Amino acid sequence: MIQPLFRPRRNRLTPAIRDLVRENQLQVTDLVMPLFVIEGQNQKTEIHSMPGVFRYSLDLLVDECIDLYRLGIRAVVLFPALDESKKDRVATESANLEGLYHRSLRAIKARVPGLCLITDVAMDPYSSDGHDGLVSPTGEILNDETLKILCTQAVSQAKAGADIIAPSDMMDGRVAAIRAALDQAGFTNVGILSYTAKYASAFYGPFRDALDSAPKKGDKKTYQMDPANVKEALRELDLDLAEGADLVMVKPGLPYLDVVRALAEVSEVPVAVYNVSGEYAMLKAAAQLGWLDYQKSVMETMMAFKRAGAKIILTYHAKEVATWLAQEAVSGPR
Ligand code: PBG
């Protein structure tokens, strides 16, 4: 009989040994749950292309936040689904302190003060053009003109209780501009989670369904990154760190794990990853067809993010994962 010299399988022999040698851990406090808010009372509408994910009216949104907090989730990121009538060219509604978004922030802060509130900064949920920046009459996305709008939006969100501002727009110079605007308004303790490497991705499709926010004309390729590039992500990282980002993010997640790894190797601040709507939809669809074990494939996906070097994971699976982690704590891992 052949006797191998080396036996890596020894370290896989029993659950106890596997627990002992495991290199990466997933904690419930790594998770951030994205949430969608809509107008109305007692409304909970499912997103067609994201089964199990809902848009909540403010009252139910607060209940959901209480639930998430009880499960150990410590942060949420909020997006508004607005009626077309609330949208205009300059995204006026994005800084309306009495609007749905800002009312929601205040309500969550009041009822779940321990929950970290991350807010999204970009024009698209409020823009009649469906773009993250201001669109010129010729269809150009205007960078510097957009910065002013983003700064006003960010400061208004801080006033309503945001703990961390997350610009998802990919305009140049927005981290420095938002930092300066926050500081000038006295919000020196409000942090910035920059969407550092956000790619022009087809995986955002279900999110745009959720907000009805797809661009009316053109695409987002003049501001979101080309999926072919990784060095460019490192350049964006350098700029974001120089401009004062407290946290940096890669988006989407699973198709861009190499980018997560590249940033995690050099970043001086924690790296987050956004496991986006289309990634959620893929696993949900396969599970519904009976083609994948949902829980196992979700947990494996979460571990992939940790292994790639992400500290923080924004994911629509967050509540399910938190529930499973709590069960595991009682009964041991599956
Ligand atoms: C836009 C924004 C998008 C997402 C978050 N913020 C979509 C886009 O860029 O069109 C996508 C999130 C997801 O797909 O889950 N500012």
Q: Give Cβ neighbours of residue 141 (< 8 Å, ≥ 6 apart).
A: 131, 132, 133, 134, 135, 222, 223
pTM: 0.97
- Is 2 a domain residue? no
- Give residues (CB < 6 A) around ligand 1: 120, 122, 124, 132, 168-169, 204, 207-208, 220, 276-277
Q: Give Cβ neighbours of residue 297 (< 8 Å, ≥ 6 apart).
A: 283, 286, 287
CA distance 24 to 11: 15
- Is 229 a domain residue? yes
Protein residue with least CA distance to atom 7, ligand 1: 204
Among the listed residues 51, 155, 33, 45, the one whose alpha carbon sits nearest the alpha carbon of residue 97: 155
Report the atom number in ligand 1 closest to the C-alpha of 168: 16
pLDDT value for 211: 87
- Is 56 a domain residue? yes
- Is 223 a domain residue? yes
Q: How far is the CA of 330 from the centre of ligand 1 (A)?
A: 36
- Is 3 a domain residue? no
Q: Decide if pLDDT at 332 tops 70.
A: no
- How confident is residue 329, by pLDDT bands cut at 50, 70 and 90? confident
Q: Decide if pLDDT at 239 tops 60.
A: yes
**In a 10 Å sphere around its CB, with 0-12 CB exposed, 13-18 middle and 19+ buried, how is residue 209 labelled?**
middle
In the predicted model, what is the mean pLDDT of the chain? 97
- How confident is residue 44, by pLDDT bands cut at 50, 70 and 90? very high
pLDDT value for 331: 76
Q: Decide if pLDDT at 214 tops 60.
A: yes
Which amino acid type is present at position 87?
Answer: K
Catalytic entry in 86, 87, 198, 284: 198
- Is 1 a domain residue? no
Q: How far is the CA of 247 from the centre of ligand 1 (A)?
A: 18
CATH of the domain at 170: 3.20.20.70
Which amino acid type is present at position 62?
Answer: V
Q: Map tokens 């009822």 to a residue.
A: 111
Quick one: how far is CA 310 from the chain centroid?
13
- Is 187 a domain residue? yes
Tell me the average pLDDT across 166-172. Answer: 97
Q: How far is the CA of 120 from the centre of ligand 1 (A)?
A: 9
Q: Are 55 and 36 in contact (CB under 8 A)?
A: yes
Share of the chain above pLDDT 70, in %: 99
- Is 260 a domain residue? yes
Q: Give Cβ neighbours of residue 240 (< 8 Å, ≥ 6 apart).
A: 175, 194, 196, 248
Give me the domain span that covers residue 233.
8-331
Protein residue with least CA distance to atom 5, ligand 1: 168
**Pocket residue to mutate for ligand 1, from 120, 124, 282, most atoms within 8 A of Cβ:** 124
Number of domains in the chain: 1
Which alpha helices (H) appear in 78-214, and where do they start and end? 100-111, 143-159, 174-184, 205-211
pLDDT value for 333: 57
pLDDT value for 64: 98
Backbone angles phi, psi at 178, to 5 degrees: -70, -40
**Pocket residue to mutate for ligand 1, from 33, 53, 168, most atoms within 8 A of Cβ:** 168
Does residue 198 have an active-site annotation? yes
Tell me the two tokens of residue 147: 């910065």
pLDDT value for 147: 98
pLDDT value for 330: 77
Tell me the average pLDDT across 106-131. Answer: 97
Tell me the average pLDDT across 128-134. Answer: 96
Does residue 251 have an active-site annotation? yes
Protein residue with least CA distance to atom 11, ligand 1: 204
Catalytic entry in 86, 87, 220, 251: 251
Report the atom number in ligand 1 closest to the C-alpha of 204: 14
HSE-CB at 81 with a 13 A cutoff on CA atoms is: 25
Is 145 among the annotated ligand-binding positions?
Answer: no
